[in-house]
Amino acid sequence: MLLIHCPYCEEERPEMEFRHAGEAHLERPKNIAEISDEAFAAYFFYRDNPKGVVFERWRHLHGCARFFNAARDTVSDKFLTTYKAGQPKPDLVGAANMNIPAKSGKSGK
């Protein structure tokens, strides 16, 4: 069970209190009724799902109940940072490089 730092509760709390809520920084278009089919598909259906650092939303469901954002490395399953909803994507160049294991890293079975 991971520990996740909630930016609202200002401490690390057990993963059981949280719920994953999909990719972060996808803003609902203000003029959503008018956008093209392609733009709608890009907004609602398509996701990157990269290997490595992802920006994603979590909700401290069984805690403060707030949605917030996190940068997590899907290779190491380590959180690089968490931040409040509405804040911009943090610059993680340094952290990301440190936390993405080399490609030769042996993966578990």
Which of 21, 35, 64, 75 binds Zn ion (CB under 5 A)? It is 64
- Which tokens go with 31? 């003029």
Under the criterion CB under 8 A, does residue 46 sit at the interface with other proteins?
no
Using CB under 8 A as the binding criterion, the count of chain residues that bind other proteins stands at 37
Under the criterion CB under 8 A, does residue 33 sit at the interface with other proteins?
yes
Which of 5, 23, 35, 56 binds other proteins (CB under 8 A)? It is 35
CA–CA separation, 73 and 98 (whole Å): 10
Q: Is the Cβ–Cβ distance between 65 and 55 less than 8 Å?
A: no
Backbone torsions φ then ψ of 78, nearest 5 degrees: -105, 140
Beta carbons within 10 angstroms of residue 106's beta carbon: 6
Residue 30 makes CB contacts below 8 A (sequence gap 6+) with none
Which of 5, 9, 42, 56 binds other proteins (CB under 8 A)? It is 9
> Rule CB under 8 A: which residues touch other proteins?
1-3, 8-11, 13-14, 16-17, 19, 21, 27-28, 32-33, 35, 37, 40, 43-44, 57, 59, 61-67, 77, 85-86, 106, 108-109
